Amino acid sequence: MAKKPVKKKAPNDSGEANIAVNRKARHDFEIGERFEAGLMLVGSEVKSLRDGKANLKDSFARMQSGEVWLHNLHISPYDAASQFGHEPLRSRKLLLNRREIDKLDGKVKERGLTLIPLRLYFKKGRAKVEIALARGKKRHDKRESIREREATREVDRAIKRR
């Protein structure tokens, strides 16, 4: 039985290979300060991530007893792990410095911001997640950003035609 070829994602110029990107986050939230965090994973999760089987769509991070946890990150089970696999939607601990955790905790409590993951990637062989402090957009804000995007597209098209 031949092994299925693994799709390798090409690393960008900084040696990072994206696994998953949360594009909906930029539509639903105003993105503020960003942080890079490591993830505590089990072996079958890392194998599955190397195959690119992850989804950040409805995931979020939350502070719990002085630690940051990532919830609703879906990592599909790795086929070869069978009985020793992992639970796809389990909560995963984020690895941050104490100063970063304290800073995030203060801003989340003080200003009513949320922590959302923007992208999941490999950096020097380690799985990392980029999280951001974000504020939810109202419906009219979303409409405004859509209008701005369409206006810039029209301008670009007009320039291209000339």
Which uninterrupted H or E stretch holds 139? helix 139-161
Average pLDDT over residues 145-160: 89
Pairwise pLDDT comparison (85 vs 113), residue with the higher score: 113
- Residue at token pair 């490999």: 122
CA distances 21 to 34, 77, 109, 142, 152, Å, are 14, 19, 26, 19, 23
| pLDDT tens-place string over residues 3-61 | 555 555 555 556 678 888 888 888 888 888 899 999 998 888 888 888 888 888 888 89
| pLDDT tens-place string over residues 112-143 | 788 999 999 998 888 899 999 988 877 777 78
SS3 content of the chain, % helix, strand, coil (to 5): 35, 35, 30
Average pLDDT over residues 75-101: 83
Q: Where are the domains of the chain?
A: 17-137
Tell me which CATH code domain 17-137 carries. Answer: 2.40.280.10
Question: Distance between CA atoms of 56 and 74, rounded to whole angstroms?
Answer: 7
**pLDDT for position 118:** 92
CA distances 24 to 4, 31, 56, 136, 140, Å, are 31, 12, 9, 12, 16
Q: Beta partners for 132? A: 34, 116
Question: Distance between CA atoms of 38 and 89, rounded to whole angstroms?
Answer: 17
Q: Which amino acid is at 95?
A: L
**pLDDT for position 111:** 79
**pLDDT for position 53:** 86
**pLDDT for position 23:** 85
Q: For residue 152, with 0-12 CB atoms within 10 Å meaning exposed, 13-18 middle and 19 or more buried, which class applies?
A: exposed
pTM of the full structure:
0.72
**pLDDT for position 155:** 92
Query: With the CA atoms of 58, 38, 98 and 61 taken in that order, what torsion angle do they form, in degrees rounded to the nearest 10?
Result: 0
